[in-house]
A and B are shown apart, each in its own frame.
Chain A
Amino acid sequence: MSDTTMPPAPARTTPARGFALPRVSGSAIVMTLYLVFLLTPIYWLFNMSLKTNQEILSTFSLWPREVTFENYMTILTDPSWYMGYVNSMIYVVMNMVISVTVALPAAYAFSRYTFMGDKHLFFWLLTNRMAPPAVFALPFFQLYSSIGLFDTHIAVALAHCLFNVPLAVWILEGFMRGVPKEIDETAYIDGYSFPRFFVRIFMPLIASGIGVAAFFCFMFSWVELLLSRTLTSVNAKPIAATMTRTVSASGMDWGVLAAAGVLTIVPGALVIYFVRNYIAKGFALGRV
């Protein structure tokens, strides 16, 4: 509020009217409206999750008249609900680990060496992301069914690699390009072997890149519904699929669904907190 310490700008004073309106800047109004619109659905979800089904269906209320944690209790005690989270977590983490592990050497090769067709290959990697997942649902389903991978966590994790490995390669390559090649050479001259250099010197240098790549893998894998629903039935059923399938269980369990929605947002919000400073660079695929 520097306005109070600085002489007011002539254009903004209104002495002629004889009274002073509380000064509200236009940008503050826009920002407030923006935040309200942005947060309304999330608030409504949260609002619903604390209501009883009866209240949700019978009255319109901006906040719960009768706060209940019953919905959350249902989710946290019923295995058919909470196993959805566990399954999602398992394949998301598997996917993150596989994607980053595979992408690290690939990105290093792209950033440090020139080889035949490297530019084409690098571009082709990204085109993998341009096909809708639905295209791959059928081949994956048939393939995994025939080799006995259907309804396993690794099946979903591997399927998501199709989209996440190229993305991780692109992000990591961008970060690695920012590290001068002379560091590699200095390390070799100092006597580091390649694996040791990579783990001890190089990975700490691109730690933020690894974090961002892992986050993007998480983001895609966590929200992806089509492949994960197609490739699972019971044992590896993800939470998103659980949510869509409960719709017709006993009528419509609005409150529980809302609570599940809130719980689904939480991990994403937590993860994004850790990489908040690098997200923009990640969206630019590591290139600034």
Chain B
Amino acid sequence: MTLALEAVTRTAGAVTHIHPTSIELRNGTMNVLLGPTLSGKTSLMRLMAGLDRPTSGRVLWQGKDVTGMRVQDRGVAMVYQQFINYPSMSVYDNIASPLRLARCKPDEIDRRVRASAEMMKLTPMLQRKPLELSGGQQQRCALARALVKGAELVLLDEPLANLDYKLREELRVEIPKIFEASGAIFVYATTEPEEALLLGGNTATLWEGRITQFGPTPEVYRRPVDATTARAFSDPPMNFLKISKTGNRLLFGRGQSLAATGRLGELSDGRYMAGFRPNHLEVHRHTPDAMIFTPKIDVTEITGSETFLHLDHHGEKWVGVVHGVHDLTLGQPIEVFLDPAHIYVFAEDGPLVVPAAYAMAA
């Protein structure tokens, strides 16, 4: 009982949107497609929905080959980033339209429309036209129309991206609830790692038309399989630092070194890439054996309770997120600290070698 993509690809002209991709989504799961713009989230969703036909590969729905089947016969529902409703129909008729097309009985249509309108808090607006609603209400109308069908595959393509902050938070709480009630396969595309973490379920990280990793969301977050996944699943993106190991010392920066302890000690000698998340960079020393760097400050951004430091460490661009407001001079070096327990070690060509110690403990 699954939706399975088997080595699907999608090319348009000379441009490859999706490299060969296989993924299997189980019934009753929430699946997040996480990746930056143009990473192929929408392309992949369109293949799942049947709006596009894969250039090669197969799409299996509950074990049956549905490649090339008309989207009308698929039993899917989709919500776009733009608020897509039928402007000439009232909200009620909008929500009722999939049911009418499915030839439901009038009293059943009425019952289901009112139930989903209630869930989406649209009951007072049922007689209005979609364009007379606020953005959040329009998107809720689109969501209601997608959900009223009871489709077994619900595709949400950045449904909250065009909404303002407050509404987004509100709907972000509601969507997992709706999902749990429906028991369908949900696929949710987003560019924001935070959203993926809040939604839970499974996450597939996408990068340039490939799925780099697919698994339970916390697992993907804590143990990214490679540097690309780690970079995508971190906001701001993960920082990287060239290190090398000789004997039982880790060398980094310009001649600095650190005793390799724990799992770091098991590394074979050679050059690696160390990755760490921006929130793990500190301006005060908290652990005695912290690594010390003195990068230059490029830019600082203060967001009220946090300060974003854009740093230049011998040509490597880092971002640090530190608590509190710090008054810093641009262009000056600053001493920052990093607990070695927060370092992921990647091979130079990307794959993860040693996950961060804190992630293992969690």
Contacts and interface: CB of A to CB of B under 8 A. Distances in A.
Interface in B47-99: 49, 51, 70-72, 74, 76-78, 80, 82, 84, 86-88, 97-98
Q: Which 3 pairs between the two chains have the least Cβ-Cβ distance?
A: A204-B88, A191-B101, A190-B98
Contacts of B82: 180, 182
Interface in A128-185: 180, 182-183, 185
Interface of A: 180, 182-183, 185-193, 201, 204-205
Contacts of B245: none
Interface string B86-119: 1110000000011001100000000000000000
Contacts of B17: none
Given A189-B72, A190-B145, 20 more contacts: A180-B82, A182-B80, A183-B84, A183-B86, A185-B71, A185-B78, A186-B78, A186-B80, A188-B70, A189-B51, A189-B71, A189-B74, A189-B77, A190-B101, A191-B72, A201-B86, A201-B88, A204-B87, A204-B88, A205-B87
Given A201-B86, A204-B88, A205-B87, A189 B80 contact: no
B98 to A, nearest CB: 4
A90 B194 CA distance: 65
B23 to A, nearest CB: 20
B84 A180 contact: yes
B140 interface: no
B71 A192 contact: no
Interface string B28-53: 00000000000000000000010100
5 contacts: A185-B78, A186-B80, A189-B51, A204-B87, A205-B87
B101 A192 contact: yes
B149 interface: yes
A185 B145 contact: no
Nearest to B72: A191
Given A180-B84, A205-B88, A191 B102 contact: yes
Contacts of B78: 185-186, 189
Given A191-B72, A193-B72, A186 B84 contact: yes
B84 A191 contact: no
A149 B87 CA distance: 44
Contacts of B149: 190
Nearest to B12: A114
B76 A189 contact: yes
Nearest to A194: B72
Contacts of B74: 189
B90 to A, nearest CB: 12
Contacts of B97: 190, 192
A188 B74 CA distance: 10
Nearest to B88: A204
Contacts of A192: 72, 97, 101
